[in-house]
Amino acid sequence: MFDTWRRQVEKDDSTVDAALTKLVDQITPSIYASLKTAVELGRWGNGDRLSEEQLENSLQMVILYEAKNLKSSERIEATLPNGCGDKILQ
């Protein structure tokens, strides 16, 4: 799904931004919960492992959804151990 979408929007940055916004707008709370669980467990709901690319893409969607829809205290980075977020950003 993401590969096809990525190829379609790689034409220019404005297209990517618009496509990402549209994609994030289509994520329902149920889809968000499924993506977040998949990222946390490294597996889809059916038990299949996420590939490295699926994990990366799913995490990006979770972060973008949270940035748009959740308070900062409810976001995934708020649950990281103290100082862990700083190490990730370096």
pLDDT for 56-76, tens place per residue? 999 999 988 898 887 777 766
Mean of all residue pLDDT scores within the chain:
79
More confident residue, 6 or 86: 6
Whose CA is closest to 3, among 78, 81, 57? Answer: 57
Range of the domain at 27: 2-89
Question: At 84, phi and psi to the nearest 5?
Answer: -65, -40
Give the total number of structural domains in the chain: 1
| Residues 71, 4: Cα–Cα separation, whole Å | 31
pTM of the entire structure? 0.66
| Residues 21, 46: Cα–Cα separation, whole Å | 28
pLDDT of residue 90: 42
Query: Dihedral sign, CA of 26, 40, 59, 49?
Result: negative
